[in-house]
Amino acid sequence: MTKYTDQGKNDTRSGYGAGMTELGRTNPNVVALCADLVGSLKIQTFIDENPDRFFQIGIAEANMMGIAAGLTIGGKIPFTGTFANFSTGRVYDQIRQSIAYSGKNVKICASHAGVTLGEDGATHQILEDIGLMKMLPGMVVINPCDYNQTKAATIAIADYEGPVYLRFGRPKVANFTPVDQKFEIGKAVLLSEGTDVTIVATGHLVWESLLAAEALEQQGISAEVINIHTIKPLDAEAVLKSVQKTGCVVTAEEHNYLGGLGESISRVLATQYPAPQEFVATNDTFGESGTPDQLMEKYGLNNKAVVKAVLKVLERK
Amino acid sequence: MSTQKIAITFEANKSDSYNMPELSKLQDLVSQTRRDILRMVHKVNSGHPGGSLGCTEFFVALYHELMELKDGFDMDGNGEDLFFLSNGHISPVYYSVLSRRGYFPVEELNTFRLIDSRLQGHPTTHEGLPGIRIASGSLGQGMSVAIGAALAKKLNNDDHLIYSLHGDGELQEGQNWEAIMYAAGNKVDNLISTIDVNGKQIDGATDDVLPLGDLKAKFEAFGWDVLEISEGNNLEAILTGMNEAKSRTGKGKPVCVLLQTMMGNGVDFMMHTHAWHGKAPNDEQLENALSQNAETLGDY
């Protein structure tokens, strides 16, 4: 299989911050909004360099979404920033009416998604956001896997006209995709070719899936690993091409199995190429306090869980 | 035009420089707009005539006298004043006034709430209706949007104004108070937010459903410049009051206008009740209501 090297652990939210810094320098229409979480979203450099294009909204996420919608009227490209929980569930109707239905060019950028937010616990750990956002007509949903890819995605979505949900996280994780990569919205990335099983992963689970593929190789199992950074629109063609070759699939995400990437893949397979599928995802549950590693272990979201799911799906081929 | 005394609770001498326009033309528009509203909701037996009729004079004054508008329509609205309707259920008055201002053919009012129409039950950008810049109807969101548009104007060095309209009952939605706090704290002083104070909402009087308290004191406590127009169905009072509001923009504070209106204004049996908030007249009631409002500019 193709080997990847961790260039040094980093957090995806810092990738967002770096992307915003670059956008601040290159795109005068980009404006940033934040609901009292500047430090967490890593956008201080953007603010320092573009004070007139930053809006500190305070702890008022509903107002932030509405203001972002309004800023598009006049040609601005607003990037809102807060935790994933407060970027979605808390303000769903504001997003639905003022942004999605109104077709506004707002980039909803959400940090601290999933259980890897860690010690703050379930009040802040949303595991439903992908489902919430992908259900909104016209909403693009992106969950990049590492620092480099998050930076590239941040820059790329500024050039896309329409509402986007960009989901990233808190912990420092392996940074293994190319520096200054070209990010293509809606285009799956084939990371490693294989013949026995397709592993389709998003976000933090992509690296875990690569680790799982290495472990499986030791057992003589050839896994194909696909990074689906864009959950909507889904690159169904890439998934079908792979599953037609391997005959089964494991989906992996830091999200509830209800409403997540896995269900999007299930629909593609059910309507076009029925094949066995196993889900690495949370099982209709809330999270809890703990370290990111402890939580990924407890909720079955690490490379060991991926290996287990692969062995299970292979039995069903 | 009514000759009754106009009660305006601010110092009227500040508006001495304003030359009152010929009111008969606006009054004709008001009468015709009322007919449009009544006929639209009657045809589909649904919609919200009460609040629409209560705000007819305000909309006519806004679009035919107060706002500086470009010809045609583009979404960004650079170089012109913009208006946002937050209480989207009064779409009939909005559609009528937009069409008679030339944004789209008045014949299209025939399609209100029908399948495949651009005139949805609540206003939306989704079908591309010229004049509409945001969907509204789920209440409490319009002031935030208006603030965003006002901030964009400032970034673009565009000195035109943002107007918004909100129901009084709508202020029960908490997002408004986030927006009210933000606008004052950030000196969004190119914004005039008008509250339609008709004292009524679907379930009855606002005082019975959830009292709003002293709105003037509340807005002022949040840091807004507030003025009241106590005769919100009197064109002259509206024009004088709104011009006063315009003169108060650019001074470091957002401006709030408390516009006291009569729900159902212009149709005697629709006034002094909340019954016509979201109910259409039947054939007989329509005939009666139309007989009270002359066809001045031709029905659509």
CATH number (domain holding residue A255):
3.40.50.920
Chain A hits for B140, Cβ within 8 Å: 62
Task: Mark whether A99 and A139 lie in a shared domain.
Answer: yes
What single-letter DSSP state applies at residue B8?
B
Chain A hits for B148, Cβ within 8 Å: 66-73, 78
Mean pLDDT of chain A: 98
Task: Mark whether A206 and A121 lie in a shared domain.
Answer: no
pLDDT at res. B19: 79
pLDDT tens-digit readout, A81-133: 999 999 999 999 999 999 999 999 999 999 999 999 999 999 999 999 999 99
Inside any domain, residue A5: no
Least CB–CB distance from B152: residue in A60, A65, A73: A73
Inside any domain, residue A309: yes
B32 — pLDDT class (breaks 50, 70, 90): very high
pLDDT at res. B22: 85
Task: Mark whether A124 and A200 lie in a shared domain.
Answer: no
| A49 included as an active-site residue | no
* Residues of B within an 8 Å Cβ radius of A: 75-78, 82, 84, 124-126, 133-138, 140-153, 155-156, 158, 174-175, 178-179, 181-182, 185-186
Task: Mark whether A163 and A81 lie in a shared domain.
Answer: yes
User: Judging by DSSP bridges, how do beta strands A230-232 and A140-142 pair with one another?
Assistant: antiparallel
CATH number (domain holding residue A98):
3.40.50.970
- The dihedral sign for the CA sequence B196, B201, B207, B212: negative
Q: What integer is the mean pLDDT of B115-140?
A: 98
Size of interface A-B (CB pairs under 8 A): 119
Task: Mark whether A103 and A74 lie in a shared domain.
Answer: yes
Q: Is the pLDDT of residue B6 over 70?
A: no
Closest residue on chain A to B123 (Cα): A102
Task: Mark whether A147 and A234 lie in a shared domain.
Answer: no
Inside any domain, residue A47: yes
Separation of alpha carbons B29 and A179, rounded Å: 62
Q: Is the pLDDT of residue A181 over 90?
A: yes
Q: What integer is the mean pLDDT of A234-249?
A: 98
Alpha carbon separation from A97 to A17, A82, A126, B76, B83 (Å, rounded): 28, 19, 21, 18, 17
Could you tell me the residue range of the domain that residue A140 belongs to?
Answer: 10-173
Element of type H or E holding A251: strand A249-256
Percent of chain B with pLDDT over 70: 94
B17 — pLDDT class (breaks 50, 70, 90): low
Question: Do the Cβ atoms of A67 and B147 come within 8 Å?
Answer: yes
Question: Do the Cβ atoms of A66 and B148 come within 8 Å?
Answer: yes
Backbone φ and ψ of B93, nearest 5°: -70, -35
Q: What integer is the mean pLDDT of B268-281?
A: 95
Alpha carbon separation from B89 to A149, B170, B173 (Å, rounded): 44, 11, 15
- Quick one: tokens of A310? 């692969």
Task: Mark whether A198 and A152 lie in a shared domain.
Answer: no
Q: Is the pLDDT of residue A13 over 90?
A: yes
pLDDT at res. A198: 98
- Quick one: tokens of A70? 């309004």
Mutate to test the interface with A, among B178, B181, B190 (most CBs of A within 10 A): B178
Q: Where are the domains of chain B?
A: 23-291
Q: What integer is the mean pLDDT of A217-226?
A: 98
Q: What integer is the mean pLDDT of A161-184?
A: 97
- The dihedral sign for the CA sequence A31, A184, A5, A303: positive
Separation of alpha carbons B48 and B276, rounded Å: 7
Task: Mark whether A213 and A300 lie in a shared domain.
Answer: yes
Q: Is the peptide bond before A233 cis (omega within 30 degrees of 0)?
A: yes
Task: Mark whether A21 and A162 lie in a shared domain.
Answer: yes
Backbone φ and ψ of B253, nearest 5°: -130, 145
Percent of chain A with pLDDT over 90: 99
Task: Mark whether A137 and A28 lie in a shared domain.
Answer: yes
Least CB–CB distance from B126: residue in A53, A55, A101: A101
Give the list of residues 6+ apart from residue B109 with CB closer than 8 angstroms, or none: B36, B39, B40, B95, B96, B99, B119, B300
Q: What integer is the mean pLDDT of B7-21?
A: 57
Least CB–CB distance from A55: residue in B134, B140, B151: B151
pLDDT at res. A168: 98
CA atoms within 13 A on the CB side of B293: 28
Task: Mark whether A168 and A201 lie in a shared domain.
Answer: no
Separation of alpha carbons B78 and B147, rounded Å: 15
pLDDT tens-digit readout, B185-214: 999 999 999 999 999 999 999 999 999 999
- ipTM of predicted assembly, 2 dp: 0.96
Q: Is the pLDDT of residue B21 over 90?
A: no
Question: Do the Cβ atoms of B134 and A93 come within 8 Å?
Answer: no
Inside any domain, residue A202: yes
pLDDT at res. B14: 46
Separation of alpha carbons B200 and B275, rounded Å: 10
Chain A hits for B143, Cβ within 8 Å: 66
pLDDT tens-digit readout, B227-238: 999 999 999 999
Inside any domain, residue A181: no
Fold of B23-291: Rossmann fold (3.40.50)
Percent of chain B with pLDDT over 90: 93
pLDDT tens-digit readout, A242-291: 999 999 999 999 999 999 999 999 999 999 999 999 999 999 999 999 99
pLDDT tens-digit readout, B38-93: 999 999 999 999 999 999 999 999 999 999 999 999 999 999 999 999 999 999 99
For chain A, percent helix, then strand, then coil, each to nearest 5?
Answer: 45, 20, 40
Per the structure, the count of domains in chain A is 2
Inside any domain, residue A182: no
Chain B hits for A75, Cβ within 8 Å: 76, 78, 152, 156
Chain A hits for B76, Cβ within 8 Å: 73-75
Exposure string of B96-120, with b = 16+ CB inside 10 Å and e = fewer, is bbbbbbebbebebbebbbeeebbbb
B222 — pLDDT class (breaks 50, 70, 90): very high
Alpha carbon separation from B283 to A144, B44, B279, B289 (Å, rounded): 59, 12, 13, 10
Entry pTM: 0.95
